[in-house]
Structure 1
C-alpha cells in the first residue's frame, strides 16, 4: 500500500510540476487532471492550471470536496470506492449483491451529494473504480457490463443518463493475475486488450500509461463500431 500523503505533501510535489508543465508549448490544447481526495489540493491545483479533479473517494474522504469543485466550475471525476485505500480490500468492502448494480447505485448517491453542494451532473464523470474495493472477478464483471452500469445510473438519475464513464484498467493487478505477470510494466498488452473490451462496452474515457498503443487500440475500436452502424 502506498504511503498516504498529507495535503501539504501533495502540494509540495504537485505545484512545481504543474507550473513546469504549464510552460511547455506541447501542453497547448491538452487538459491536465489532478488526482487527489483533498479539497485544498484541488483548489490550489486549479489555480496552477489543473483542468479536471479526479477524486478516488468520490468526495467521501473530504466533505468539502464537492463544494470546492462546484466553485471551481471544472469537471469532476467521481470514482467508486468503499472505505479508504487502507481498508478498501477488506472482506466487507468486497461484498456485493450484484457488483454492477451496487456500484451504479453508490455512484448515484455520490452524484446526489455533489448536486446538493452545487456541482451539476453535467460536469461529472464517473469511474467504476477498477481495483478499488473489487476482486479480480468483480473487475471483469465491470468491464463486461459497463452498459449495465450506465443504464442503472440513468434509471436512478435521469440527469446522469449520458454521464461519461472513465475506465482505468492500465497495468492493474488483476491483469497481472490473469496473465501471470507480476511486473506491472510488462502488462501493456493485457491493458490494450482490456481497454478495447471497455471501449466496445461503452467507456468514454480510458486512463492509461502507454498512450500510443492504447490510442491505436481505441481508434481501431471506433472504426469497427462505425462500421456496425
Structure 2
C-alpha cells in the first residue's frame, strides 16, 4: 500500500510514525509547549531524527470541550509555522490537522502534503471537494458532533458495525470527489467512552474489511491514564503497550507525541513477522 505525497510514493504497508505538533495553547498534553518558531523547529528536527515519516501540524485543539477557534485565528497560527518548517526542512511531509477546507487548501499551497480531518468532511461541506482538487492523501476520522459536543454522543446500536458503516459511506463520498489515497482513523477518544475505546482496539482487525490503511492515535489519551489512574504526562508506557497491540492488529501509521518510543514499538513488532 502506497500513498502519493508531493510526487513521492510512500510505502505504508511497512508501519510509519506520524509525530504530533500542536500549535494550540490548550491541547490536553502539550498545549502551549511550542510558543515560538525556534521551539517548533527544534521539535520537528528531533522527531525527524528519531524516525518520523510525517509531522502532523494542528492549530485547533480537538480535545473534549475544546475552546472554539475562528478560521482566521487557525490560519494565523498554522501558516507561518508551515512556511518556516518547509524552509528549514524542504523534504518534510507535513500533515495539516484541520476540519476546515480553506485551512486545508492554504496549508497545502504553503507546502503541506496531507490533510488530516477529524470530521471526515462532515463539518465543512467543501472539504472533500477541496481535497479532491488538491490531489493529496486524506486522513478521515470517525467522530460524532464537534469537539464541544462529542462526549454526549456515545450511544451506538453496535459500535464496530456503526463505525464501519460510517467509513463505508464517507469513503464512497470521497471517491465521488476523486480522492484516491484515503487513510482511516477510528477516532479513539472521539464520541467514545473509555470502555468503547478498548472495544474498538479489541476489534481493530475488522477495519481491514475496508481495504484502507489504518492510522491509530492513542498517544497519552485518557483511555490510558484513566485506566491506570495516572496522568497524560505519565502515560508513555501505556501508550507503547497500546501502540504495540494496534500494530499487531494492522495499524499502518502511529500518530504519537513520542516518536522514539513508537519507532521502538515498530522495530520490535517487526521481529515477530
What TM-score does the superposition give when structure 2 sets the normalisation length? 0.74
Unaligned ranges ≥5, structure 2:
1-64
In the TM superposition, 1:20-35 aligns within 5 A as 20-24=84-88, 27-35=89-97
CA shift, 1:97, in A, is 2.6
What is the aligned-residue RMSD (CA, Å)?
Answer: 1.1
Is residue 2:233 matched to residue 1:185?
yes
CA contact (8 A) 1:103 1:149 kept: no
Q: 1:117 Cα shift?
A: 2.3
- Residues in 2 aligned to 1:108 and 1:172: alpha-carbon distance in whole angstroms: 26
Deviation track 1:59-105 (CA, whole Å, cap 9, x = no partner) reads: 00000000000011000000000111111111xx2112321121111
> In structure 2, what is the equivalent of residue 146 of structure 1?
204
Which residue does the alignment assign to 2:101?
A: 39
Give the conservation status (yes or no) of the 8 Å contact 2:214–2:253. Answer: yes
Question: Secondary structure at the residue paired with 1:217?
Answer: helix
Q: Which residue of 1 aligns with 2:186?
A: 128
- More strand, by proportion: 2
2:171 aligned with 1:111, yes or no? yes
Counterpart check, 1:97 vs 2:145: no
Give the CA deviation at 1:222.
1.4
198, 213, 218: which one aligns with 1:164: 213
CA contact (8 A) 1:101 1:149 kept: no
Task: Give secondary structure in 1 for the equivalent of 2:144.
Answer: coil
Distance 2:90 2:110 in 1: 15
Whether 2:267 is the aligned partner of 1:219: answer yes
Query: In structure 1, how many angstroms separate the alpha carbons of the residues matched to 2:130 and 2:233?
Result: 35
Residue 82 in structure 1 maps to residue 140 in structure 2: no
Distance in 2 (alpha carbons) for counterparts of 1:95 and 1:40: 32
1:65 aligns with 2:127: yes
Alignment length (residue pairs): 209
Stretch moving more, 28-37 or 74-83: 28-37
**Unmatched segments (≥5 aa) in structure 1:** 154-160
User: What TM-score results when the alignment is normalised by the length of structure 1?
Assistant: 0.88
State the distance in 2 between where 1:83 and 1:184 align. Answer: 24
Query: Could you tell me how far 1:28 is from its partner in structure 2?
Result: 4.7
Going by fraction, where is helix more abundant, 1 or 2?
1
SS of 2:226's equivalent in the other structure is helix
Structure scoring higher RCO (CA < 8 A, sep ≥ 6) equals 2
The match for 1:19 among 64, 78, 83 is 83
Partner of 1:7: 71
